């Protein structure tokens, strides 16, 4: 049955956490782009502690935009600044919520977006307070990850939020779903008919997904040390990418069908076996501000995941994420089986490589097909050749994830947001890794992580370095 999950267009944007780090780095620059492209036609109401003045708030927003784009256009900044309104007050003080309601009344708002750029521990309280002044009937909430700390707390959080907002008015952000490169996985798989017949266990030998960052925790030590790589990115960004790579075609273009297929494939994914998991921590992490001197928190994790579906049974999926690694890249590599007979190795060299499809999802996104071609010379030998497309060069620049997600939230489109059942399934999959994490292996920055991660692969296989 088709359920219309599309929501009415918003008439106001309320930013909780408007003086925080996320608003500074991502939300204000995104609002600037929306203003520039005429997609922002609503008041933007920040809620902040009482010691912030209107001027300080506008200056903060202005500085954040200039930091992201030093050439920001004054003709865009000016109307944007005029949209900003600040409510000063404590979240614990009921009069703050009454002022918010009155402010929305003054703007004749009946359909606001309440964006929670605040620590997740505050989501239930803010949702309840919104309800206490009737604002849960007048809009939708946008919540940032991490959505829960484990399976149980995610279910609990959903239950709590559902007492105040129905599922279709809860927009859960995973900014990877806002990346055009990640969304392209859908188009790539389901618009190219040559791929679908081979996208299964019969032809695919293994899949590797790497999300590597060269930076460390960069001043976020106190947040990160309570989270670690499994909760920070594996449970959400990485498993969402795996779902898009592994799922069946959706029954139609409506957002609900996409979430249905993700939920199905996540249900078929086995919970991670702790013996098929390696955690690492970069040397120097414990010296970062805010990190415990004896921290056992992982900045790297590699794991095997298995999908017991008709399409993928028996195919190993290897995933790894880490900070302080050699390069910044996100890449999925689909490795195909070797031909049944090796006919072309007259020179007796090393056996030819296998076909690969490398899907680059990071900054320079694109796709590379690694194929075999005849080596020049008298022998009948084959060697690797890459056929590669850089999407920005071929198609033009992509927009920023947060710009697209904010625009979607304002337009009421749930397509790029995560549904409850999918999020709960991802927590189920990582739960054993949280319960029985095993040791954390040190690794040096600028490497590919702890050597122990190699043993996950077996069969003489190796992690494939991203192609950038």
Residues labelled as active-site residues: 237
Residue 408 CB, nearest approach to ligand BG6 (Å): 17
Q: Does 27 bind ligand BG6 (CB under 6 A)?
A: no
350 C-beta neighbours (distance < 10 Å), count: 8
Q: Does 144 bind ligand BG6 (CB under 6 A)?
A: no
**Closest CB 333 distance from ligand BG6, rounded Å:** 17
Which element (helix H / strand E) includes 62?
helix 54-68
Q: Name the residue number minimizing CB distance to ligand BG6.
A: 232
CA 352 to chain centre: 35
The CA distance from 178 to 409, in Å, is: 11
For 19, the token pair is 């003086």
Among 72, 233, 297, 305, binds ligand BG6 (CB under 6 A): 233
Strands (E), 339-422: 356-360, 366-374, 382-390
What does the DSSP assignment read for 36-61?
HTT---S-EEEEE-TT--HHHHHHHH
Q: Is residue 56 within 8 Å of 19, Cβ to Cβ?
A: no
Q: How far is the CB of 453 from ligand BG6 (least distance, A)?
A: 19
**Six token digits for residue 152:** 């149980």
Distance of closest approach, residue 213 Cβ to ligand BG6, in angstroms? 5
Q: Does 403 bind ligand BG6 (CB under 6 A)?
A: no
Confirm or reject binding of residue 232 to ligand BG6 (CB under 6 A). Answer: yes
Identify which of residues 232 and 331 has a Cβ nearer to ligand BG6 in the complex.
232
Nearer to ligand BG6, 233 or 406 (CB): 233
d(CA 381, CA 369): 19
Residue 363 or residue 374: which is nearer to ligand BG6 going by CB?
Answer: 363
Question: What are the backbone dihedrals phi and psi of residue 292, each rounded to the nearest 5 degrees, phi first?
Answer: -65, 145
Closest distance to ligand BG6 from the beta carbon of 300 (Å): 12
Question: What is d(CA 378, CA 179) in angstroms, rounded to the nearest whole number?
Answer: 47
Q: 84 or 321, CB closer to ligand BG6?
A: 321
Q: x/- contact string, 184-223, with ligand BG6 (CB under 6 A)? A: -----------------------------x----------
Q: Binding residues for ligand BG6, per CB under 6 A?
A: 213, 232-233
């Amino acid at each position: 049955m088709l359920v219309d999950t599309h929501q009415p267009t918003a008439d106001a944007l309320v930013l909780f956490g408007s003086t925080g780090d996320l608003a500074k780095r991502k939300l204000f620059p995104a609002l600037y782009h929306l203003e520039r492209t005429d997609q922002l036609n609503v008041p933007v109401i920040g809620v902040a502690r009482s010691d912030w003045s209107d001027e300080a708030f506008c200056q903060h927003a202005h500085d954040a935009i200039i930091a992201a784009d030093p050439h920001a256009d004054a003709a865009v900044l000016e109307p944007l600044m005029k949209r900003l309104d600040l409510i000063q007050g404590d979240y614990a003080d009921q009069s703050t919520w009454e002022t918010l309601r009155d402010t929305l009344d003054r703007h004749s708002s009946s359909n606001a977006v309440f964006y929670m750029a605040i620590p997740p521990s505050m989501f239930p309280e803010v949702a309840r307070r919104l309800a206490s002044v009737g604002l849960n009937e007048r809009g939708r909430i946008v919540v940032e990850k991490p959505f829960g700390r484990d399976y149980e707390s995610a279910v609990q959080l959903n239950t709590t939020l559902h007492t105040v907002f129905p599922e279709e008015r809860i927009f859960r952000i995973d900014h990877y779903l806002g990346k055009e490169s990640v969304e392209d996985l859908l188009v790539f798989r389901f618009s190219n008919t040559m791929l679908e017949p081979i996208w299964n266990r019969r032809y695919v030998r293994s899949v590797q997904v790497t999300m590597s960052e060269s930076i460390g925790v960069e001043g976020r030590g106190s947040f990160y040390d309570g989270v670690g790589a499994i909760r920070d990115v594996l449970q959400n960004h990485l498993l969402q990418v795996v779902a898009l790579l592994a799922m069946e075609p959706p029954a139609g273009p409506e957002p609900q069908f996409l979430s249905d297929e993700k939920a199905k494939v996540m249900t078929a994914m086995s919970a991670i076996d702790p013996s098929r998991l390696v955690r690492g921590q970069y040397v120097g992490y414990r010296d970062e501000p805010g990190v415990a001197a004896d921290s056992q928190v992982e900045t790297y994790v590699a794991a095997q995941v298995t999908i017991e579906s008709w399409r993928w049974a028996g195919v190993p999926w290897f995933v790894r994420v880490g900070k302080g690694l050699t390069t910044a890249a996100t890449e999925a590599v689909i490795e195909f089986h070797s031909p049944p007979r090796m006919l072309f190795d007259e020179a007796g060299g090393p056996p030819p490589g296998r076909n690969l499809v490398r899907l680059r999802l990071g900054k320079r996104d694109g796709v590379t097909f690694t194929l075999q071609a005849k080596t020049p010379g008298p022998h009948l030998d084959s060697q690797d050749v890459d056929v590669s497309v850089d999407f920005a060069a071929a198609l033009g620049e992509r927009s920023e994830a947060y710009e697209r997600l904010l625009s979607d939230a304002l337009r009421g489109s749930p397509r790029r947001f995560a549904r409850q059942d999918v999020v709960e399934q991802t927590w189920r999959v990582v739960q054993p890794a949280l319960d029985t994490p095993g040791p954390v292996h040190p690794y040096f920055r600028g490497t590919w992580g702890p050597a122990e991660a190699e043993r996950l692969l077996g069969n003489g296989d190796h992690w494939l370095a991203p192609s950038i």
